[in-house]
Structure 1
Amino acid sequence: MKIYLVGGAVRDKLLNRPIKESDYVVVGSTPDELLALGYQQVGSDFPVFLHPETKDEYALARTERKSGQGYTGFICDFTPDVTLEEDLIRRDLTVNAMAEDEGGNIIDPFNGQADLEQKCLRHVSDAFCEDPLRILRVARFAARYHYLGFTIAPETKQLMQEMVAQGEINTLTKERIWLEIEKSLADGAINVFTDVLAEINALPVILPPLANHWSPDYSQEIATLLTRVAGENQLIIAFCLWLKEIQPTEVKTLSERLRLPNAYVDALSLFTTFAPIFTHNQAPVEQVLALFNQADVWRRPERLNLFIETFALLGEEHSALARKLQSAATKTTAIDVQAIIKQGFKGAEIKQQLARAREQAIAGIFE
């Protein structure tokens, strides 16, 4: 039995990037042998195990044979005679098809180190086209390593385009598409991810609303905005900025298409509805109140705070208006309902007086 560090950990180690997780391939072993050593099996389609102490993933070396459409249609062979090279050749990119043995020696049968030096993302073999998920993975890697100058090899981009034309990308599940998008948001270059999808004609399939207006100029605008994003809400903020031009009516369709988390849907719906309205240093009182009501600032102030934080990143003028919105929110939420009741108002009158008091508070700032 031989054990090798593989994939992203080897790649990022050679790039002097932080290693987020370590994955291993085990050659010449069986599930029974690993179970006897205390490993915990977690894979169902093929044997993947967790190390009894480190909890790192250890997978038996395997080969794959296409048995159907999509990224799940494979038959795996993980017998002890599967070699390391046979396992590596099934991987997506040459830079991900390297291994390191227990002595620290790099095994690189497909010239991944050379492609790292040339900053090139190149597919390993024709088996690449058997898994449509790799289209999104390559787009994500292009985004992640864009700051280092990485680009996709022309022949790989051509292959991706052919896969899109053949309809393979249509077999991807909503969850897998969203996972790749979310990872690209975390990497901070979702515009590059989108550029790649646009270049290979995948954007109309994956994100139809965005395909209508994506362009090199818009991509650069998003890239500039993303440099301003920080803080604990940076993924949701980047998401809203990325999709800021879509129509509010398209948010629900997009949510269903990608099965978006509720926090993203709420934030995007609020942003696409109201951000286009507040284009100057003034805002209609009724629209500000509508924003507060839709955000439910009275019970969930964090939703309005997220809108304000995102809106302020659009520019200096927006930042000035965002400060006014924050002041208005502070004043309106401080209005005492009990004081209105003590004035003798009852039933529907209370709601009317409360709305009037909130409008007056907003008007004091915006008029």
Structure 2
Amino acid sequence: MQIFLVGGAVRDQLLQRPVYDKDWVVVGASPKDMLTQGFQQVGKDFPVFLHPETKEEYALARTERKTGSGYTGFVCDFSTDITLEQDLLRRDLTINAMALDANNKLIDPYNGKQDLDKRILRHVSPAFVEDPLRVLRVARFAARYHQYGFTLAPETLELMQELSHSGELESLAAERVWKETERSLLGDDPQQYFAVLKEAHALSYWFKEIDCLWGVPNPPKHHPEIDTGVHTLMVLEQAAKLSDELEVRYAALTHDLGKGITDPTIWPSHTAHDVRGVPLVEALSERLKCPTKAKDIAKLVAELHIRVHTSLTLKPSTIVKLFDKMDVWRRAERFEQILLACEADARGRTGFEDRSYPQANYLRECFNAAQNVDVKAIVDSGVKGPDIKEAVRQKRIELVASVTKPQ
């Protein structure tokens, strides 16, 4: 029995990144051997074992043979004569196909260290195309390691495009697609995930509402970058700088979906794209099975971002209606999420990245003022029944009116 540290732990150790999870491959052992030594078996499709003390995962070396469609159509062989090199061959990228032995010696049969040094994401073998999930995984790695200057090998991009055109991506489970997407959205450069998927022609099924934004023009005066797809990724980039919350980032990604169905005869105008975008956010979110909280915030941002942008010109009564629509009286936490997504939208334009967004602070002051309604005093004054709600609304309007607008 030989044990090797493999995969991400080796890669990140060589990159001098923190290593949080360690995966191990065991060569020359059977499931019985592992159980005899006190390991706990947890794998269903193939034998994976938890170390009796560290609880880290130890998998028997295996090979995979494609027998059906999708990412589950594989037959695994984990017999005791499978070599480490055979196990590493089935992995997706060369930088993930390295191992360290017990003496910390690097085993690198597919030149992963060379690609790591050159900052290249390259597939290990032509078997890459057997698993459609790898398109999303590679896009996630491209986003995760964007800060290190990694680029995609042209031949790997070609295989990703081949997979995209094959229709195999449609066989993926929504939960798997969302898992890769969520992990990317929460990373440092989430926009790169979607940029790579676009380059790989991989947005057209799972993210079709986003895919159609490229080629849709915006008014150059307000959007020097012009293209709505480009703008969307710029907004997502700004959202990642403003907030680490999934809800904010997802809302930034989906805020302009309504522009994708604007009648081309009225381009670059996008009248009512805010309202048109809401059902598109709903459709995308249902397809991806994304969390309800993220979906709800995204729908509100799609519908309300124009009103937030123009809040300095709104009447106090309209601002109170805006707060009602956000349901901030009961869910104050979503107020800040909406404002941050809107600020990301305002900054996600060429030349606007560092501009201030006074609308956010103004609305924060309005909200803080409007919360100071003394309901008990209203009731004590003799107001009863349905009239209480109207009296509270009028008092909120009065308090919002007292807030000084920024010049």
Moved more, 309-318 or 109-118: 309-318
Aligned mate of 1:254, from 284, 309, 318? 284
**Percent of pairs identical after alignment?**
44
What is residue 326 of structure 1 aligned with on the other side?
A: 364
**1:284 Cα offset (Å):** 4.0
**Residue correspondence of structure 1 range 55-70 to structure 2 within 5 A:** 55-70=55-70
Question: Contact between 1:229 and 1:238, CA under 8 Å: does it hold in 2?
Answer: no
**Counterpart secondary structure, 1:76:** strand
CA–CA distance in structure 2, aligned partners of residues 229 and 172 of structure 1: 32
What is residue 145 of structure 1 aligned with on the other side?
A: 145
CA–CA distance in structure 1, aligned partners of residues 179 and 325 of structure 2: 28
**Counterpart secondary structure, 1:272:** helix
What is residue 21 of structure 1 aligned with on the other side?
A: 21
CA–CA distance in structure 1, aligned partners of residues 294 and 233 of structure 2: 23
What is residue 261 of structure 2 aligned with on the other side?
A: none
Aligned amino acid, residue 218 of structure 1:
H
What is residue 313 of structure 2 aligned with on the other side?
A: 282
**Counterpart secondary structure, 2:313:** coil
What is residue 294 of structure 1 aligned with on the other side?
A: 325
Cα 1:151/1:10, change in 2 over 3 Å:
same
Aligned amino acid, residue 205 of structure 1:
Y
What is residue 41 of structure 1 aligned with on the other side?
A: 41
Aligned amino acid, residue 363 of structure 2:
L
What is residue 186 of structure 2 aligned with on the other side?
A: 186
What is residue 251 of structure 2 aligned with on the other side?
A: 240
Deviations 1:163-212 (A, max 9, x none): 11110000111111111111112222121111111112111212112112
**Counterpart secondary structure, 2:204:** helix
Moved more, 316-325 or 264-273: 316-325
Is 1:354 aligned to 2:392, yes or no? yes
Aligned amino acid, residue 243 of structure 1:
T
Cα 1:219/1:297, change in 2 over 3 Å:
closer
* TM superposition score normalised by structure 2: 0.85
What is residue 242 of structure 2 aligned with on the other side?
A: 229
CA–CA distance in structure 1, aligned partners of residues 318 and 20 of structure 2: 45
Question: Contact between 2:191 and 2:234, CA under 8 Å: does it hold in 1?
Answer: no
Aligned amino acid, residue 70 of structure 2:
G
Gaps (5+ residues) in structure 2?
A: 215-226, 258-276, 348-353
Aligned CA-pair RMSD: 2.0
Deviations 1:255-302 (A, max 9, x none): 101111122112212222211223243334344223322332222211
Moved more, 249-258 or 164-173: 249-258
Cα 1:27/1:197, change in 2 over 3 Å:
same
What is residue 272 of structure 2 aligned with on the other side?
A: none
Cα 1:27/1:150, change in 2 over 3 Å:
same
**Counterpart secondary structure, 1:91:** coil
What is residue 205 of structure 1 aligned with on the other side?
A: 205
**1:98 Cα offset (Å):** 0.7
Question: Contact between 2:5 and 2:23, CA under 8 Å: does it hold in 1?
Answer: yes
CA–CA distance in structure 1, aligned partners of residues 117 and 128 of structure 2: 22
What is residue 293 of structure 2 aligned with on the other side?
A: 263
Cα 1:90/1:208, change in 2 over 3 Å:
same
What is residue 339 of structure 1 aligned with on the other side?
A: 377
CA–CA distance in structure 2, aligned partners of residues 356 and 204 of structure 1: 48
* TM superposition score normalised by structure 1: 0.93
Aligned amino acid, residue 360 of structure 2:
A
Moved more, 313-322 or 276-285: 313-322
**1:318 Cα offset (Å):** 6.3
Aligned amino acid, residue 300 of structure 1:
R
What is residue 31 of structure 1 aligned with on the other side?
A: 31
Question: Contact between 1:340 and 1:353, CA under 8 Å: does it hold in 2?
Answer: yes
CA–CA distance in structure 2, aligned partners of residues 208 and 189 of structure 1: 21
Aligned amino acid, residue 294 of structure 1:
K
**Counterpart secondary structure, 1:228:** helix
Gaps (5+ residues) in structure 1?
A: none
Deviations 1:76-114 (A, max 9, x none): 111111111111111001111111101001111111111
**Residue correspondence of structure 1 range 106-117 to structure 2 within 5 A:** 106-117=106-117
CA–CA distance in structure 2, aligned partners of residues 131 and 366 of structure 1: 58
Is 1:173 aligned to 2:173, yes or no? yes
What is residue 365 of structure 1 aligned with on the other side?
A: 403
